[in-house]
Amino acid sequence: MPFDKVLILSASAGAGHMRAADALERAFKLTGAASEVKHVDTLQYTNKLFRHLYSRAYIDLVNKSPELLGWFYDHLDKPWKNERRRLALDKLNTRPFVKMLQEYRPDITVCTHFLPAEIISWLKAKRRVSFRQAVVVTDFDVHAMWLCHHYEQYFVALDETREHLLRLGIPAEKVTTSGIPIDPVFAEPKGKPEMRARHGLKPDVTTVLVSAGGFGVGPIEHMLESLAGMKHPAQIVALCGRNAELKSRLDAASARLPPSHHVSIKPIGFTTEMDEYMSAADILLGKPGGLTTSEALAKGLVFVIVNPIPGQEERNSDHLLENGVAIRCNNLPVLAYKLDRLLDDPARFASMQAGARRMARPDAARDIVRKLLELQPAG
């Protein structure tokens, strides 16, 4: 039986939480599983200072002090230890959020960030709300900050993560291994030759997708400089996002390559066709965020990990390396060498692509919606 009102709750501290929520919103609408679906950024219902500290501080740490972010990640990863102190601070700053929940009165909330999950758990404990709550973890590992006491279902990326939650006392029937929800468009098969032709790419050359916008000014220049030294012919698609200045710099760098050069660089500005570029590619080079990684796996891409953020991305890296679907480059000067070595061994490369498809869960968003419908009481 469809839901009347579904409230999907994210937080704009890192893009992945928002993208997972968007994917779930789309899946609810495509499956007709709810009469009304609403996606809300929880931080829009907090005070201005808290909102700034929560989102801006995270982005500043990622860009300027990733080692400090990694220290915080490990320091706070103590199950059930810091929840009282954190809840006290969050309760103080989320009163407008609580008011919105009580006025909207959804049938269920689906949280893709731990902040709303924690507040709703507290409200349920105090019997101030009675709706159901589901928690969707957006990285491969589960951090202690995702833990709460009052919920109906957890959704996690891997069976290992599910086992971790069981060992922490979460009942088995309340944890589903679903994968991380990505836009349902990534489940649509799109042929490599067609996608290359559509986006003006050479039909028969190794295609490397680089998430250029995720790197600072220096690293992306050095990265492309290193890739230009590859011995294998390759085309590098550099995704610049909304960074127009970066795109113009990379356009200039691409124009400087001699016409006979067997490595080409094609900078791309903001695009809503990421699934098509991934369908056209063979390799994704970048940081292993939970959403980007899940999208790449859905398209069977081999991952080349560069500069993972200490903490969650380091742990995501471990899972990719353990499953044999990624290599990691810690020193940019040897990036071309590492890629050439990988391409020297077609059997290994094909095995990594097959491993990526095995790890993939392209239907995660729809699977989460289906499971939630099963939990919906009849009548």
Q: How is the chain split into domains, by residue range?
A: 3-182+362-375, 188-359
| pLDDT tens, residue by residue, 229-277 | 899 999 999 988 877 888 888 888 777 777 667 888 898 888 889 999 9
Q: Are 365 and 181 in contact (CB under 8 A)?
A: yes
| pLDDT tens, residue by residue, 315-352 | 999 999 999 999 999 988 999 999 999 999 999 999 99
Query: Residues near 31 by Cβ (< 8 Å), separated by ≥ 6?
Result: 366, 369, 370
Q: Which two tokens stand for residue 43?
A: 């931080």
Handedness of CA 145, 148, 151, 155 (dihedral sign): positive
| pLDDT tens, residue by residue, 280-327 | 999 999 889 899 999 999 999 999 999 888 888 999 999 999 999 999
Q: Do domains 3-182+362-375 and 188-359 have the same CATH topology?
A: yes
For range 114-141, the mean pLDDT: 93
Quick one: pLDDT band at residue 92, thresholds 50, 70, 90? low
Res 292: pLDDT: 92
Res 82: pLDDT: 66
CATH architecture assigned to 188-359: 3-Layer(aba) Sandwich (3.40)
pTM: 0.91
3.30.1300.10, 3.40.430.10, 1.10.10.10, 3.40.50.2000: which CATH number matches 3-182+362-375? Answer: 3.40.50.2000
Phi, psi of 4 (to 5 degrees): -75, -55
For range 179-189, the mean pLDDT: 96
